[in-house]
């Protein structure tokens, strides 16, 4: 019986380790510049996540975010507040994609 308890304990430890490791990883997206000179990024909001959750953009190049949420009844919002950079976004999200220019609220 003791080997079975050890096997169960080891299995639980491995599951927690894998979950913690997956939670710590970032889904990085590096924006490219389209032909019209705009960096476009699509973001999906879900239950406790944004995909991608880390975005890299080039400075002094226009950025357009298209944000939507996964299907379901859970309400979701998208907030970026960075007054020093002139960014102040607070949007309520739906399944329909919403285009946001991070610098339009300045």
Q: Indicate whether 4 belongs to any domain.
A: no
Q: Supply φ then ψ for residue 83, to 5 degrees.
A: -60, -35
pTM, two decimals, is: 0.65
Q: Give domain status of residue 67, yes or no.
A: yes
Is 21 inside any structural domain?
no
Does residue 7 lie within any of the structural domains? no
- Residue 105 has what pLDDT? 42
Give the domain range for residue 58: 27-100
Average pLDDT of the chain?
78
The ranges of the chain with pLDDT < 70 are 1-25, 103-106
- DSSP state letter for 4: H
Structurally, the chain folds into a number of domains equal to 1
Give domain status of residue 106, yes or no: no
Q: E strand or H helix at 99, and its extent? A: strand 98-100
Q: What is the chain's length? A: 106
Q: Positive or negative CA dihedral for 29, 103, 73, 20?
A: positive
CATH number (domain holding residue 54):
2.60.40.420
């Amino acid at each position: 019986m003791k080997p079975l308890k050890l096997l169960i304990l080891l299995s639980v430890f491995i599951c927690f380790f894998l979950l913690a490791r997956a939670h710590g990883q970032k889904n990085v997206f590096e924006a490219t510049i389209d032909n019209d000179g705009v960096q476009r990024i699509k973001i999906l909001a879900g239950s406790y996540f944004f995909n991608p959750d880390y975005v890299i953009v080039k400075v002094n190049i226009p950025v357009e975010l298209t944000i939507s949420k996964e299907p379901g009844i859970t309400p979701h919002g998208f907030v970026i507040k960075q007054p020093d950079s002139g960014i102040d976004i607070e949007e309520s999200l739906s399944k329909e994609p919403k285009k946001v220019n991070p610098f339009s609220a300045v």
